[in-house]
Amino acid sequence: MTTIISNAYLTATINSKGAELVSLQANETETEYIWDGNPEFWGKHSPVLFPIVGTLKNNSYSYNNQNYSLSRHGFAREMDFDLIHKTENSAVFSIQSSAETLKKYPFEFELQIIYSLEEKKLIIAYKVINKSQSKMPFSIGAHPAFALNENFEDYAIEFEKDEDLVYNLLEDDLISNKTKTLDKTENQVKLNYELFANDALIFKTLQSKSLSILKNRKPFLKVHFNGFPHLGIWTKVNAPFLCIEPWYGFSDTTNATGNLFEKEGIQIIEVNEIFNSKYTIEIV
C-alpha cells in the first residue's frame, strides 16, 4: 500500500513496506528525484536502516551471553508499517516489536517514521521509543537513492564546509582501519564510478552537516543531516543513482567483539526514553 502527501511544490509517495520513500516529484516540472528501484542495479529506493546500520561481523552479535543473528541493515525495511496519522502534507508510520523481532533483537520498541512537506523540503523524522525494561542499544540510518539521469561524470557533490574528506575503507563489508581522503576542489568532489570501486564511502566524522548534488556545476538537490554523526555515500558501478546516507552507527569494525553494547557508533537509550532525529531533502 502507498501513501501520497503533497503541497504546492512537491509530491511524495511512501510505501507501507518499510515506510520507504519511493517517489519525490516536483509538481511543476514532474521531475522525479528518487531512484526508480530497477533491480538490474538495486531494487530499493530509500530504505530505513534499523536496528542496525550496515553489516555485523558474522551477521551476529551477543547480548546477555546469548548470540543473535541480524542481517545487513536490520529488519525494519522489510516490515509492514501502520499508517497512524495522515494529513495532506504529512504522514506518520509505525512498527512495534513482536514475537518475531524479539527472536532477532530482544528489546521491545516502537519505531515511528514521520514524513512532512514544507515548501520545497521533505523532512524525514525518526522516533525510537524504548519499551523494554532495560537499556536499548540500536542504530538507525537513512539510505535515499537519488536519480541521476544524465552522464554520471556531469555530477558533483558539494560539502557544506571545506574540510579534509577522510573516509574508512570496507573490508568484507566491515569497517577497516584503512582510510583514504577524497580529492576535491575547494569543497566539491566530481563524481566517477571509480570512487565506488570498493563499495561505499564511510565517513565516521564530518564537520559538514549538509551536502548538495550538482549537475553541470549547478545544485539541484541538497540533503541536510544536522545531528547525524556519520555519513555513507554509495552507488553501484554504472548505476544512474547516488545514495546520500545520514547514519547513527555503521557496520562492525574488523576487530569488533560482537558485544552489541560495545559496538562502535551504537546508540543507547534508557527505559521509556525517546530518541528523535531528522534529516531533510531540499529541492533547489
Domains and CATH numbers, the chain: 2-283 (2.70.98.10)
pLDDT for 24 equals: 98
pLDDT for 259 equals: 95
pLDDT for 119 equals: 98
Q: pLDDT tens digit string along 102-150?
A: 999 999 999 999 999 999 999 999 999 999 999 999 999 999 999 999 9
Ranges of the chain whose pLDDT falls below 70? none
Q: pLDDT tens digit string along 222-248?
A: 999 999 999 999 999 999 999 999 999
pLDDT for 175 equals: 95
pLDDT for 208 equals: 97
pLDDT for 16 equals: 98
pLDDT for 249 equals: 97
Name the residue type at position 83.
Answer: L
pLDDT for 28 equals: 95
